[in-house]
């Protein structure tokens, strides 16, 4: 097992009715900014519950954080935070709203252009306003991690950042608030969480037995419960299992002490920045080909994945590996997330543009062995046509 330094201070308030508990976790004198997205929270009752829970606080709002939150929108929120002397943020929504709130929290306290947070991947964050989160879409893990992803629309750049100052103080996970999700977002969430586990598990063995078993447990739960969420959308236990799984998939626990990949995510971010695909759609396209192209470097873990997750133990190694990748692909399709570039209207003509973006953003040595060069990325994209 590799050395590690695991830190996670986020308090989790899990279960139905927990929105009412947020008042206890916000300083009584706080000037709160309620941050949300395009308005789904006004249709499903979450907004009303949050407003009721904040009775007695000084509250203003910033609405309109878009999926794949933009620097341009978030800069308007930072201006509002400064003008209104806000000292606590409450993110209510999915990963985009929570990521956006992290950027606002850190950007508001920075004396240079907050875009530098993305350029420096968060290393220049020395302080951030405190914030909480009410999660409405299980997917990213942002509710219990310190990372965020922000897009600069004008230049089509999508970068991530990370800082220990950017953990939510608390996160409410009420599974009943996910009943209103469109099926596309249910599928996206399950695929994103699956990919997060794979980025941390599907590398090479380092004898990290408990991380491996946790990771396999999360994958098995997604495989079992994901289709159930599509078939029985109002099943509380199904929603609860998916919600907690997505959080655990990227809260640092399974990634501690193991090598990590993230090449699929980096290529995926370019596809979203250039072609506006949903985050999970990009992962469903890239991940299966990434595994096929890098089969030799990942052989031991692919065989373990085949046996423990997909129950494949017959046939020679290559047959088992290919069967496990095919099953993964079929699972993404079963969740309603298509796995080919062509399914989204993209083709061979678009590959060069993605590679140029990877090069411009210095994404030329990706993966756990830093061996995912532009040539490897080209192979992956061409295999995903
Ligand atoms: O904007 P609203 O009206 O809230 O609608 C949203 C949005 O249209 C809707 N939605 C959310 N909860 C709902 C709901 N609709 C009905 N009922 C509900 N309960 O869903 C749509 C998508 O929301 P979004 O927040 O964009 O989705 P997601 O949670 O998948 O977040 C994606 C973003 O997170 C980043 C991605 O790159 C992308 O920008 N990621 C963040 C990570 C992190 N912080 O650790 C890691 C991930 O790998 C990922 O990169
Ligand atoms: Zn992701």
Average pLDDT, the chain: 98
Ligand 1 atom 41, closest CA? 140
Which pLDDT belongs to residue 73? 98
Atom of ligand 1 nearest to the CA of 99: 44
Which pLDDT belongs to residue 236? 98
Which pLDDT belongs to residue 6? 98
Q: What is the mean pLDDT of residues 138-151?
A: 98
User: What is the residue-wise DSSP string for 26-62?
Assistant: S-TT-EEEEEE-SSHHHHSSHHHHHHHHTTTSEEEEE
pLDDT digits (tens, 9 = 90+) for 282-331: 999 999 999 999 999 999 999 999 999 999 999 999 999 999 999 999 99
At 237, the pLDDT band (50, 70, 90 cuts) reads very high
Q: Which of 19, 140, 188 gets mutated to test ligand 1 (max ligand atoms within 8 A of its CB)?
A: 140
94 close to 137: Cβ distance less than 8 angstroms:
yes
Ligand at minimal distance from the CA of 168 is 1
Which pLDDT belongs to residue 199? 99
Cα 60 to averaged position of ligand 2 atoms, centre (Å): 30
Ligand 1 atom 49, closest CA? 140
Ligand 1 atom 22, closest CA? 67
Ligand at minimal distance from the CA of 160 is 1
Q: Which of 36, 99, 166 gets mutated to test ligand 1 (max ligand atoms within 8 A of its CB)?
A: 99
Phi, psi of 160 (to 5 degrees): -105, 160
At 86, the pLDDT band (50, 70, 90 cuts) reads very high
For ligand 2, an ion, list residues with CB under 5 A. Answer: 192
- Per the structure block, which two tokens stand in for 21? 């508990």
Q: Which of helix, strand or coil describes residue 123?
A: coil
At 98, the pLDDT band (50, 70, 90 cuts) reads very high
Which pLDDT belongs to residue 210? 98
At 371, the pLDDT band (50, 70, 90 cuts) reads very high
Ligand 1 atom 48, closest CA? 140
Cα 195 to averaged position of ligand 2 atoms, centre (Å): 7
Closest CA to 103 of 85, 84, 76, 83: 76
pLDDT digits (tens, 9 = 90+) for 250-274: 999 999 999 999 999 999 999 999 9
Q: What is the mean pLDDT of residues 175-203?
A: 98
252 close to 7: Cβ distance less than 8 angstroms:
yes
- Per the structure block, which two tokens stand in for 75? 């800069």
140 close to 69: Cβ distance less than 8 angstroms:
no
Which pLDDT belongs to residue 172? 98
Phi, psi of 156 (to 5 degrees): 55, 45
Cα 62 to averaged position of ligand 2 atoms, centre (Å): 25
At 167, the pLDDT band (50, 70, 90 cuts) reads very high
Which pLDDT belongs to residue 75? 98
Q: How far apart are CA 265 and CA 138, in angstroms?
A: 17
Cα 336 to averaged position of ligand 2 atoms, centre (Å): 17
Ligand 1 atom 42, closest CA? 140
Q: Is the pTM of this model over 0.90?
A: yes
Ligand 1 atom 16, closest CA? 181
Which pLDDT belongs to residue 214? 98
Please list every protein residue whose CB sits less than 6 Å from any atom of ligand 1.
37-41, 44, 67-68, 93-97, 99, 136-137, 139-142, 145, 147-149, 177-178, 180-181, 185, 188, 192, 250, 265, 279
């Amino acid at each position: 097992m590799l050395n590690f330094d695991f830190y996670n201070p986020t308090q989790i308030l899990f279960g139905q009715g927990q929105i009412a508990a947020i008042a206890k976790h916000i300083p009584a004198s706080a000037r709160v900014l309620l941050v949300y997205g395009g308005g789904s929270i006004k249709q499903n009752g979450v907004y009303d519950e949050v407003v009721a829970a904040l009775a007695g606080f000084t509250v203003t709002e910033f609405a309109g954080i878009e999926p794949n939150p933009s620097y341009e929108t978030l800069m308007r929120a930072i201006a509002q935070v400064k003008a209104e002397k806000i000292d606590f943020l409450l993110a209510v929504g999915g990963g985009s709203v929570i990521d956006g709130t992290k950027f606002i929290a850190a950007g508001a306290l920075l004396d240079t252009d907050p875009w530098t947070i993305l350029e420096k991947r968060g290393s220049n964050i020395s302080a951030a306003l405190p914030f909480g989160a009410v999660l409405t879409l299980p997917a990213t893990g942002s509710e219990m991690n310190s990372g965020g992803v922000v897009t600069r629309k004008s230049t089509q750049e999508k970068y991530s950042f990370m800082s220990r100052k950017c953990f939510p103080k608390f996160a409410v996970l009420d599974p009943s608030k996910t009943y209103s999700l469109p099926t596309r977002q249910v599928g996206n969430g399950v695929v994103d969480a699956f990919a997060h586990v794979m980025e941390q598990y599907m590398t090479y063995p380092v004898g990290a037995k408990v991380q491996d078993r946790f990771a396999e447990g999360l994958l098995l739960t997604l495989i079992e419960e994901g289709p159930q969420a599509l078939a029985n959308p109002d099943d509380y236990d199904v929603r609860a299992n998916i919600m907690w799984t997505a959080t655990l998939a990227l809260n640092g626990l399974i990634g501690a002490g193991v090598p990590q990949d993230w090449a699929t995510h980096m290529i995926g971010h370019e596809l979203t920045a250039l072609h506006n695909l949903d985050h999970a759609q990009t992962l469903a396209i890239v991940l299966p080909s990434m595994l096929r192209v890098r089969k030799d470097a990942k052989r031991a873990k692919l065989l373990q994945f085949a046996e423990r997750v997909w129950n494949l133990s017959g046939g020679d190694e290559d047959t088992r590996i290919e069967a496990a990748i095919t099953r993964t692909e079929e699972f993404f399709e079963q969740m309603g997330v298509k796995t080919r570039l062509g399914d989204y209207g993209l083709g061979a003509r678009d590959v060069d543009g993605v590679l140029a973006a990877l090069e411009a953003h210095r994404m030329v040595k990706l993966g756990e062995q830093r061996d995912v060069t532009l040539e490897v990325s080209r192979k992956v994209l061409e295999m995903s046509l």
